[in-house]
A and B are shown apart, each in its own frame.
Chain A
C-alpha cells in the first residue's frame, strides 16, 4: 500500500479517536481537574509544595488514595502502612484490570502506559466505547491520556497558584457521579448487562450499609465474586 495514503489514514483515525475521547472525558475534566486543584492546594497547606504534589499525582496516580495518604504524610514515617492502605483502597483496580485484560490485548507496548494510568474514569469510559468506527487502540490511549492530564494538570495548577477557579464550583464534582449514573442507566437498560449491573449495585449498597463508608469496598468486591462465581454454573448472568 502507498505509505503516504496509509499515514494519512492513520492520522484520520487518530484525529477521530482524539475528538471522541475529548468529548467523552469532558465530565471527567470537570471533576478530576477541580479535585486535582484541591489536592495541590491541600498538599501546599501541609507544607508539600507543587513539586511534591505533582510528583505524587504523576507517580502514584490514584485520586482518592492520594487524599487518604495526606494524614500519613503528616505523621510518623510509616511506608508499610501507606503501602497496605494503598492496596486496600485500590483493590477495585484488580477488577478494572480483569475487565480490560482482553481489550488491552494486541495493542503493543503502549498497554503498559494504559495499565499504569487505569483509573475509575479511564476504565468506565474505555469500556463504554460502542462506536465501531472509532479505532479502539487510539481511543484507549486518548481517553487515558486526557484523564491523566486533567488530574496531574489540576494538581500542578493548584500547587502552584492555589484556588484558581474563578467561579463557585460547589457541587461541580457531581459531574463524576452523574457520569457513572448515566452509564449505569444504560447498563441496566441493556438486556445483556442488566443483571450484572443490578447485582453489582446491590452488593455495594448492602456492604455500604453493613460495613460503613470506611470499609465497604473489599467486602463488596468479595460479595460480587461469590455471587458471580456462584451464579456462573446456573448461567444467571
Chain B
C-alpha cells in the first residue's frame, strides 16, 4: 500500500464523487415532478442506440490494425455475432457463438 489508509479512503471518495456526479446530474436537473424539456426527451430517445454503437467501439478501442494479428480475431468474431444475430435473432446464442469463436482464436490460433 503506497498511500495511508486515510489517503486511500479520500481517493476512493474522489473517484466515486466524479462518477456519481455524472450519474446523478441529469436526475438532479430534472427531478421527479418537473417537466423534462423536449430537447432532453429527444436526446433520451436518440442517445441509447447511439451509445450502444459507442460501447461497441469502446470495447474494441485497444485493437491494433498495424500489429499482428491486425484485429482479425476481433473483427471475424464480430462478424460471427452479426451473422448469428441475422440468422437466428437470439442475443444469447449470438453472444455465446461469437465469444466461443473468439476464445478459440485467441487460445488455439493466434497464440
Contact = CB atoms under 8 A, between A and B. Distances in A.
Interface in A169-193: 170-172, 174-187, 193
B25 A181 contact: no
A224 B16 contact: no
A226 to B, nearest CB: 12
Contacts of A65: 15, 18-19
Interface string B7-45: 111111111111111111111001010001001111111
B21 A87 contact: yes
Contacts of A82: 11, 14-15, 18
B12 A59 contact: yes
A211 to B, nearest CB: 11
B47 A98 contact: yes
Contacts of B22: 87, 90-94, 97
Nearest to B73: A171
Interface in A208-237: 208, 213, 216-217, 220-221, 224-225, 228-229, 232, 237
Contact of A79 (B11, B40, B41, B82): B11
Contacts of B53: 184, 187, 197-202, 204
A186 B8 contact: no
A171 B102 contact: yes
Nearest to B110: A171
A106 B99 CA distance: 38
B27 A232 contact: no
Interface in B78-104: 78, 81-82, 85-86, 89, 91-92, 94-95, 98-99, 102-103
Given A65-B15, A177-B56, 10 more contacts: A84-B18, A91-B22, A98-B47, A102-B36, A115-B23, A172-B99, A172-B103, A178-B77, A186-B89, A213-B61
Interface of A: 23, 26-27, 30, 46-48, 52, 55-56, 59-62, 65-66, 69, 72-75, 77, 79-80, 82-87, 90-102, 104-106, 111, 115-116, 118, 120, 123-124, 127, 168, 170-172, 174-187, 193-194, 196-205, 208, 213, 216-217, 220-221, 224-225, 228-229, 232, 237
Which 10 A-B pairs have CB atoms at the shortest separation, nearest pair first?
A200-B50, A86-B18, A201-B53, A171-B106, A197-B49, A171-B103, A200-B53, A177-B59, A193-B49, A79-B14
